[in-house]
Amino acid sequence: MDTTLQDPLVGQLLDGRYRVDARIAVGGMATVYRAVDTRLDRELALKVMHPALATDVTFVERFIREAKSVARLAHPNVVAVFDQGAEGAYVYLAMEYVAGCTLRDVLRERGALQPRAALDILEAVLAALGAAHRAGFVHRDIKPENVLIGDDGRVKVADFGLVRAVGSVTNTTGTVLGTVSYLAPEQIEDGTSDTRTDVYACGVVLYEMLTGAKPYGGQTPAHVLYQHLHEDVQPPSALAPGLATELDALVASATARNPDARPDDAVALLARARRTRAGLSDEQLDLMPPRASAVDASRGPSGREPSADRTGSQERTDVISRALPAPESGVSHTARLVLPPIAPDRTRVRRRPALPRRGILAALTALLLVLGVGAGVWYINSGQFTRVPALIGKTEKEARQDLKNSGLDVRDVRKEFSETVERGAVISSDPATHERIRGNGSVTLIVSRGPEIVRVPDLRGESLDDAERALRDVGLAPGVVTKAFSQEIPQGAVIRTDPGAGTGRSPDSAVAIVVSKGAPITVPDVTGRPVQEATSVLEGAGFEVEVATERVFAPGAAGTVARQSAPAGTRLASGDTLTLTVSKGPRMVTVPDVVGQSAGEAKDALEAAGFQVKTEKSFPYLGDTVESQSPGGGDEAPEGSTITIKIKGL
């Protein structure tokens, strides 16, 4: 996404404390900004949940859980969380700002790393996870995107958003959270996760650092999940010749498909990694990666490009269904993946010698006689069968109804790409059309996902509702909605999409939408004006006005505007709301008695009390002692007003 797009939070003061300076990154659940804590004058990162998710109790609880979990960890390799709060639709975490890049950036730029560098990074990650594991919880989403490398070389683990307590129930709905390339087999099969699932993900990350590639490639996430379950991670040296066998053993130990065969937690894996390093020579540790034969970091060892990286985007954390079929939840940010069925091993099936036709009939007749079943019963049983109705080209809903009318059930619904059958229509069925099936049998429907590449429609000028509907109609998902000023596009209409119109995308990919805020309006300065007059000026400019219930002391007269929520000169949109804070007049302060003091002492005392000072001297100007003051000492005067002191002459 183009991070230069106007962001409504950039330039604002969030929760009266955090000044948002720039947007750093946008994820599936939150946006990260660089900000300044104006109270402590400290640069930090703000992770702000997308407002659309702030109404979802599950996501908010996960967000708050991240803050509480990380707050328990005081570790140099964990990104610290300073604060958590909310203002309106914005739920946020205030976190340590790490100037640098992610491990994914390093791998994308350099490919494979030298073993020494890979072990340096791994050990820092394991140290952070070890602290988490010993504190009683697991991360559940270790991947290069969540490993930050500072400009000073420090390595820190971020994004504890999926953290759960060790031993807690991790799945109750048939889904599991995680990132496809780094999920442990037990997470995929039954949703369980403990310290050993983090160990598995660290093993995958180590493999990626040593080879420049993920261990499993595949055309779809489902293919990758299938390999996690049924194939061992191959030795890194198979892809990067020359790597020490000790490194192969370290990766194999961490990525064992059976969790009982892995180190118990990050502390145990860290000890093993250090033993491995100690057993390697400097030559083995500093082995240069074979650039000429290195596999691109976005591809698996098979050379196939994983679907998670087909658009060049980072791997995202998804909700993955383990049930067949996957129920439709209607949540746009949820990816539901179905594992491909395991093909039976037909090489082990022993075929019996075929009986001659007469022998088959004789055997069948004998069997029927033994069971007391005559030819009449055989005929009656044939009436228990029906034929699958014609379903091709019908919608899934229509096909289900036709099957129900025929006394049949739907066993499963599989979705496949099709260039000829429109999205949502039936491509085929199993059993096929007109095949015989028992009257109470079930049928699998194969439904079209549409073409494998979908073109983003031109939505410029459309309303947001119409634009989101158009994206769903072509098989794409509405993504993050941001707003920007436009002199040409009316307020509320779409300015552009990201990616742009005509761009090819995979079905169900998210498309970000930029909506017009209309032409910008410059905020006038209404401080010092009576509230009614200030309200009229702002409403005349096109703004909504709210008056704060709390009144404050201010130099202006009571009933005038002490401050406005957006400073004069700020550019806002028509209909935006400005809050006015009303003055209850200046605070009255007792004037210090400074007669007899030196001019310097008197000025310091008066300014410390909150007053301005005006000095008058009698001719000739050679004295330095205060002869008189106005107002006099002990009187009350408005805070910030001017006190005149007269210096005695000779």
Would you say 455 and 474 are in contact if contact means Cβ atoms under 8 Å apart? yes
* 122, 158, 212, 235 from 106: Cα distances, Å: 14, 16, 10, 22
Choose among 613, 650, 617: nearest CA to 630: 613
Q: Which long-range contacts (CB under 8 A, 24 or more apart) does 215-218 make?
A: 215/255, 215/300, 215/301, 216/181, 216/300, 216/301, 216/306, 217/299, 217/300, 217/301, 217/302, 217/303, 217/304, 217/305, 217/306, 218/300, 218/304, 218/306, 218/307
CA dihedral sign, ordered 269, 127, 29, 102: negative
Pairing between strand 636-638 and 588-590? antiparallel
What is the SS3 assignment for 168?
Answer: coil
What string of DSSP letters covers 215-236? Answer: S---SSHHHHHHHHHH-PPPPG
Among 15, 56, 141, 409, which one carries the catalytic annotation? Answer: 141
End-to-end CA, the chain: 76
Report residue 12 as tokens: 């604002």
Angle, helices 266-278 vs 195-211, to 10°: value is: 30
DSSP of 30-97, one letter per residue?
Answer: EEEEEEEETTTTEEEEEEEE-GGGTT-HHHHHHHHHHHHHHHT---TTB--EEEEEEETTEEEEEEE-
Cβ(148)–Cβ(155) below 8 Å: yes
- Is 251 exposed, middle or buried, given 0-12, 13-18 or 19+ CB atoms closer than 10 A? buried
Tell which residue, 515, 446, 430, has the closest CA to residue 479: 515
Q: Are 591 and 632 in contact (CB under 8 A)?
A: yes
Instruction: Specify whether the CB–CB gap between 258 and 267 falls below 8 A.
Output: no
The helix-helix angle for 357-370 and 375-382 (nearest 10°) equals: 100
- 141 as an active site residue: the answer is yes
The answer to whether 556 and 568 have CB atoms below 8 angstroms apart is no
Please state, in angstroms and as integers, the Cα–Cα distance from residue 315 to each residue in 27, 228, 261, following that order. Answer: 10, 16, 27
Q: Name the region of 640 (left: φ>0; alpha: ψ -120 to 50; beta: rest).
A: left
Contacts of 330 (CB under 8 A, 6+ apart): none
**Residues identified as active-site:** 141
